[in-house]
Structure 1
Amino acid sequence: MDVEAGPTRKARSFPLYRTLPGFLRDPLEEVLRIARTADGEVVRLDLGASRPFLVTHPDHVQQVLRRESDNFLRIGTFWQPLHGLFGDGIMSEGEPWERSKRVLQPVFTARNVNSATDRMAEAINDVVARFDGPAREGRPLPVLPEMSRIVNETVIRVLFGGKITQAEADRLIPAMEEVAVNIAYRFLLPFVPHAVPLPGDRAFRRGVQVMDETLYALVERFRNHPGEGHDIFTALCQARLAEGGDLDDTWVRDNLLAMFATSTETTTVALSWLWPLLAENPPVEARLREEIDRVVGGEPVRPSHLGDLVYVKQVIQELLRLYPVGWIFPRQATRHTVVGGVPIKPGQTVLISPFLTHRLPSVWADPLRFDPDRFAPEQARRHHRYAYFPFGGGPHQCIGRHVFNVEAQLILTAVMSRYHVRVSLPERPDARIGATLRPKVDFTMTLEPAGDDS
């Protein structure tokens, strides 16, 4: 038992009758208001069917995600929708998670990621080059679907190597979109029994069915002869053969689906927020363009450019501060402890949110301002380790974080080295709560060839 020294206290509560109007009007803004009011204090939310604790102070986040990670597990009501989708693989707990992590971790070593960056850069340059037509025509493009197209085609090459056909990829991508959009109600209302239909249920099941059919067909085709390669699919199939009968097709499917979902949806959403932020901050965009023009010029972006794209990296880091890839991490205590002076009993849930911690004025100065210089080398060292945790922390920290960072930097650089981006947006869109924080409204971008003087 890891109990903090000193007196304990009862958590301050935010009763439903006071918060309900705000939750009905804008749930994300209401939870932000509560977090700002609490200002790092552990508090309790009344959500009707559940009363979780909200933990936002970096010290307390570190306790839950790292120091007591064996106490606070990814189980309970809030994990039901995700467990129902991802099963017993890398997104689970206990022995299934440990085994999946043991298999997948070597795929995400810096060496393997570096070897994959050539494939990533090639895929990104190929997809981005298709914007030349719309750019010449001045045709507006929907931002989120276009970011999704770049990300999906890139991830499919890294995830499956050359083992997936174009027809299979063309089925997976829209099916994943259906799953990502339509899981939102189940994620927001995890207490509602599945016997009670919610909006999006039918489309969600349809998307999962298509993904299952496609992934199981791939496993069937390569089950006994996975071949070589550093892609994730090959690693899973090879592990299945090495482990004998202990790992079945469902285990491969669960891990493939988890890696595909977390590699595509999160990256797509994060990059969709980038363009409005740059449009609102012309000095940042100008400095970014100067660096990209100086380092890359008019040639396709290559992995060898990344070491000199220092400001590009800072922009991506600051993007993830405002719009982290995972916005909330529920955990359930398995034994008694104390966090921030508040006793936590076994079976009680705590909610950790990088989105909220990253926006606390007591943690970050002027937190809503988009300022990549927060991550300049001389500044970054001043931050608390858990003031910034867009990929979680502790043993469950996202193992694909290096892939995300490289992919995001390559995509940003590839787009801006070829085009000037003009976003059609009267004001920055609000975020919609779901498994990820998608923009509430659709918006478009118009591309102009970078060689133009306009």
Structure 2
Amino acid sequence: MGREANGEIVRANLGPFRPYLITRPEHLQYVLRDNVDNFRREGMMWKPVGRLVGDTSDLGASWNIRRRVYQNLLSAPSTALVADEMTATIAEAVDVLGERAADGRPVDAYGEMTRIVYRTIIRVLLGDRIELSKIDQLGEAMVTATTSSFRSRMLMPFIPFSVPLPGDRTFNRAVRALDDLVFPIVHEARRREDDGSRDVVSMLIHARGDDGAALDDKAVRDGIVGLFMAATDTTVSILTFLWGALDAYPDVRTKLYDEIDRVVGTGPARYDDVPKLTYTKMVLQEALRLFSVGWITPRGVREDDVIDGVRLKAGSTIAISPFLTHRLPDVWPQPHVFDPERFVSDRSRHRFAFMAFGGGPHQCAGRVFFYIEAPLILATLLSRYRPVLASPQPIEPRVDLTLKPRERVEITLQPVRR
């Protein structure tokens, strides 16, 4: 549908569900920034996501409190404070990966990237509030929850939760597992409320709304799970899809290796290295463009509106798809080619042409984490190993809440010889 529309606003006929498809950058700017109050995060994706992370509505008091906490946590001074913990955790996780892949044993790239990313982010978000053994349990529950019932629920948002759909039972079991891990952390944090901790749990507990009201335990739990999902899902998928791209484009791979060898050396990568890894960032940005993990971010229309002569009816749904925006040939020439050089300078490109983390006031909170954790993980790993794709090309995406590889992606690790 996106190819046939070629950037024009169309209404997709999916039976009883008929969203407007909007892909042009200038149209997205109107929806996500210029008239943002008329386009709400509700219906389609947001309804099933709400079962996992609670209130997603930008009208909810709980969401506004959580958003302020996220902004504080993700500020430059706050991220600098946790940089040492992040780099140390990444180095330890890469050590474990090296042991698991010793003697040329192939490993599941998605599973290994999940383990590294989850351990890193949970250490940053929760500090010492969770045992290492439970981090992997939390990761498994999150992966299960985000891959079980979202496809059916997203395509049939009008079906009430009381009517079971495929995957619902698995999803509910995963959410119970998350609750069993996260609620005890919240309860213990309340008991130790004045211990001086500055992790996300403490920040959520101490946060207050404009009326002075605090978040209850459920809202704190939702804030933890929501930020955890935002800070991990994209990084895991991109660091898995990337091995296929590097295998297919050896010139890009060589240039990436050269930069990391020059900047990081024998590693591990440090926080101060991140601004110097300019080509590494370009490679990651191109991976975000081509493998748009957040492939769809729908909005509900509050009141009748008009975009570029097309009337949008109140109560209808807009389907925003970064995956399609990133493939508009007049915006991204040769859109199916993996070319990091696109990002040497993007000043002439419309600010809403690159939608990897959304846009406007509701840009994804995981953006800041991605641009720190992804280069650090990639640089630490590549300073010691050369991953070799051991599974068939190309790596095709599978539609879930976010895009993930359809088949198992296996890599082997060759130690760097210096």
Q: TM (normalized to structure 1)?
A: 0.88
Deviation at 1:299, TM superposition (A): 2.6
Change (3 A) 1:311 1:328: same
Once residues 46 and 247 of structure 1 are traced to their aligned partners in structure 2, the CA distance between those partners, rounded to angstroms, is 41
- Which residue is 2:413 aligned to? 447
CA contact (8 A) 1:73 1:331 kept: yes
- Which residue is 1:144 aligned to? 110
In structure 2, give the amino acid aligned to 1:419. Answer: Y
CA contact (8 A) 1:135 1:449 kept: no
* Match runs of 1:122-133 below 5 Å: 122-133=88-99
- Report the more deviating stretch, 236-245 or 311-320: 236-245
Render the CA deviation track for 1:262-321: whole Å, top value 9, x for unaligned.
222222112111110111000000000011111111131111111221101111111111
CA contact (8 A) 2:44 2:298 kept: no
- Report the more deviating stretch, 50-59 or 319-328: 319-328
- Which residue is 1:228 aligned to? 196
- Which residue is 1:385 aligned to? 351
Once residues 327 and 158 of structure 1 are traced to their aligned partners in structure 2, the CA distance between those partners, rounded to angstroms, is 27
* Match runs of 1:303-452 below 5 Å: 303-376=271-344, 379-451=345-417
- Which residue is 1:93 aligned to? 58
Once residues 387 and 309 of structure 1 are traced to their aligned partners in structure 2, the CA distance between those partners, rounded to angstroms, is 23
Once residues 60 and 294 of structure 1 are traced to their aligned partners in structure 2, the CA distance between those partners, rounded to angstroms, is 42
Specify the SS of the correspondent of 2:11. Answer: strand
- Which residue is 1:203 aligned to? 170
* Count of paired positions: 415
The match for 2:7 among 22, 26, 40 is: 40
Deviation at 1:367, TM superposition (A): 0.5
Once residues 90 and 173 of structure 2 are traced to their aligned partners in structure 1, the CA distance between those partners, rounded to angstroms, is 29
Once residues 401 and 229 of structure 1 are traced to their aligned partners in structure 2, the CA distance between those partners, rounded to angstroms, is 24
Change (3 A) 1:196 1:445: same
In structure 2, give the amino acid aligned to 1:215. Answer: V
Specify the SS of the correspondent of 2:300. Answer: strand
What is the percentage of aligned positions where both structures have the same residue?
43
Deviation at 1:230, TM superposition (A): 3.5
Structure 2 residue 153 is matched with structure 1 residue 186: yes
Once residues 263 and 398 of structure 1 are traced to their aligned partners in structure 2, the CA distance between those partners, rounded to angstroms, is 9
Structure 2 residue 19 is matched with structure 1 residue 52: yes
In structure 1, give the amino acid aligned to 2:7. Answer: G
Gaps of 5+ in 1: 1-33
In structure 1, give the amino acid aligned to 2:395. Answer: P
Deviation at 1:215, TM superposition (A): 1.1
Specify the SS of the correspondent of 2:159. Answer: coil
Deviation at 1:323, TM superposition (A): 1.7
- Which residue is 1:29 aligned to? none
Once residues 352 and 136 of structure 2 are traced to their aligned partners in structure 1, the CA distance between those partners, rounded to angstroms, is 39
Render the CA deviation track for 1:108-138: whole Å, top value 9, x for unaligned.
1122122222211111111011233344411
Deviation at 1:232, TM superposition (A): 1.5
- Which residue is 1:212 aligned to? 179
Specify the SS of the correspondent of 1:392. Answer: coil
Deviation at 1:439, TM superposition (A): 1.1
Once residues 83 and 220 of structure 1 are traced to their aligned partners in structure 2, the CA distance between those partners, rounded to angstroms, is 22
Gaps of 5+ in 2: none
Deviation at 1:199, TM superposition (A): 2.3
Once residues 256 and 135 of structure 1 are traced to their aligned partners in structure 2, the CA distance between those partners, rounded to angstroms, is 32
In structure 2, give the amino acid aligned to 1:347. Answer: G
- Which residue is 2:230 aligned to? 262
CA contact (8 A) 1:240 1:248 kept: no
The match for 2:127 among 161, 165, 178 is: 161
Once residues 309 and 79 of structure 2 are traced to their aligned partners in structure 1, the CA distance between those partners, rounded to angstroms, is 42
The match for 1:281 among 249, 252, 255 is: 249
Deviation at 1:346, TM superposition (A): 1.3
CA contact (8 A) 2:205 2:215 kept: no
CA contact (8 A) 1:424 1:443 kept: yes
In structure 1, give the amino acid aligned to 2:282. Answer: Q
Deviation at 1:96, TM superposition (A): 2.8
Render the CA deviation track for 1:16-39: whole Å, top value 9, x for unaligned.
xxxxxxxxxxxxxxxxxx112211
In structure 1, give the amino acid aligned to 2:57. Answer: S
Q: TM (normalized to structure 2)?
A: 0.95
Once residues 111 and 124 of structure 1 are traced to their aligned partners in structure 2, the CA distance between those partners, rounded to angstroms, is 20
Render the CA deviation track for 1:23-61: whole Å, top value 9, x for unaligned.
xxxxxxxxxxx1122111100001112111000000001
Deviation at 1:432, TM superposition (A): 1.2
CA contact (8 A) 2:115 2:136 kept: no
Deviation at 1:423, TM superposition (A): 0.3
Deviation at 1:80, TM superposition (A): 1.2
CA contact (8 A) 2:303 2:314 kept: yes
Deviation at 1:186, TM superposition (A): 2.2
Deviation at 1:242, TM superposition (A): 11
Change (3 A) 1:202 1:93: same
- Root-mean-square deviation (Å): 1.8
Change (3 A) 1:79 1:242: closer
CA contact (8 A) 2:44 2:154 kept: no
Structure 2 residue 33 is matched with structure 1 residue 66: yes
CA contact (8 A) 2:97 2:112 kept: no
